[in-house]
Structure 1
Amino acid sequence: MALKRMDNVGIVVDDLEETIDFFRDLGLELEGRATIEGEWAGRVTGLGDQHVEIAMMRTPDGHSRLELSRFLRPPAVADHRNAPVNALGYLRVMFALDDIDETLERLRKRGAQLVGEVVDYQDTYRLCYIRGPGGLLIGLAQELG
């Protein structure tokens, strides 16, 4: 059997509303919200008795999703949001967009901070990293030409 697709990327957040609003401003659409709890959920995650609020965000093309999770029980236990780009493990999500400057201007109103600078890569892309809500590391890429 062949792999069909990557379904979503999960991000644990401490402020679900702020994060939903941020990703809406980036251009994602809120696909739905739910509360996940119960014995079956704890068996999947290995966390036992859990209670989680989730929001599923979808890219405009409908092909990619972010699952934003806020754990009510048990609480989040580790925090690697301030890790540098070369830290081990899952680190960031990158979005392709039309206009990096316009996007940065819009997201700065929501508290986004540029990590380094916007750079041109071989006259092919303009790229940058930003810190979004709660310090999330997000990559932005604008194809040139």
Structure 2
Amino acid sequence: MAIIRLDHVTAAVRDLDAAIAFFEALGMTVEGRAPIAGDWVDRVTGLEGTRTEIALLVTPDGHGRLELTRWDSPPGTAPTPHPAPVNALGWANVMFAVDDIDAAVATLAAHGGAVVREIVRYEDAYRLCYVRGPEGLVVALAEPLG
């Protein structure tokens, strides 16, 4: 047994359109969008009466994918506290390499994103920050140096 690839990462959101706009602002494009329901979904998720709408976004290089899911039934639940702090257990963030972190932060701010604290320099390798976006999702940004 061996992993072939990381197919995608999923984030649950209430406002699917706002979340799509946020990630499109980073340069991702919608690869597909569809309602999902049926017995097979219930069996996979362990929930009953599942109805969702998903959007699959892809990075400009075509390799990275992010699935955004809005849970209509049963409705999505927010962690407590909401938004969760960056050290909450579970998946913490998704990191994107960007060519201009200042421009990326400004673009995301126009879509409701806010830097968690500040942009920092990590040695001579990267400028880094966390940006909190829709639904409290944390996106890590890394601008390679040199």
Q: TM-score, normalised by structure 1?
A: 0.96
Stretches of structure 2 that go unaligned for 5 or more consecutive residues are: none
Match of 1:50 in 2: 50
- The one-letter code sitting in structure 2 at the alignment partner of 1:142 is E
Stretches of structure 1 that go unaligned for 5 or more consecutive residues are: none
Following TM superposition, by how much is the alpha carbon of 1:35 offset from its aligned partner in structure 2, in angstroms? 0.5
Match of 2:99 in 1: 98
In the alignment, the residues of structure 1 paired with residue 18 and residue 86 of structure 2 have an alpha-carbon distance, to the nearest angstrom, of: 23
Provide the aligned length of Structure 1 versus Structure 2.
145
Match of 2:38 in 1: 38
- The one-letter code sitting in structure 1 at the alignment partner of 2:20 is I
Q: Flag as ranges the 4+ runs of structure 1 deviating above 4 A.
A: none
Please say if residues 132 and 139 of structure 2, whose CA atoms lie closer than 8 Å, have aligned partners that are also in contact: yes
Please say if residues 84 and 136 of structure 2, whose CA atoms lie closer than 8 Å, have aligned partners that are also in contact: no
Please say if residues 83 and 135 of structure 2, whose CA atoms lie closer than 8 Å, have aligned partners that are also in contact: no
**Secondary structure of the residue that 2:2 maps to in structure 1?**
coil
Following TM superposition, by how much is the alpha carbon of 1:132 offset from its aligned partner in structure 2, in angstroms? 0.7
**Secondary structure of the residue that 2:42 maps to in structure 1?**
helix
In the alignment, the residues of structure 1 paired with residue 49 and residue 26 of structure 2 have an alpha-carbon distance, to the nearest angstrom, of: 34
Question: Which range moved further: 53-62 or 72-81?
Answer: 72-81
Following TM superposition, by how much is the alpha carbon of 1:79 offset from its aligned partner in structure 2, in angstroms? 2.2
Please say if residues 34 and 55 of structure 2, whose CA atoms lie closer than 8 Å, have aligned partners that are also in contact: yes
**Secondary structure of the residue that 1:55 maps to in structure 2?**
strand
Match of 1:84 in 2: 85
Q: CA RMSD in A?
A: 1.1
Match of 1:111 in 2: 112
Q: Is 1:11 aligned to residue 33 of structure 2?
A: no
**Secondary structure of the residue that 2:33 maps to in structure 1?**
strand
Q: TM-score, normalised by structure 2?
A: 0.95
In the alignment, the residues of structure 2 paired with residue 51 and residue 14 of structure 1 have an alpha-carbon distance, to the nearest angstrom, of: 13
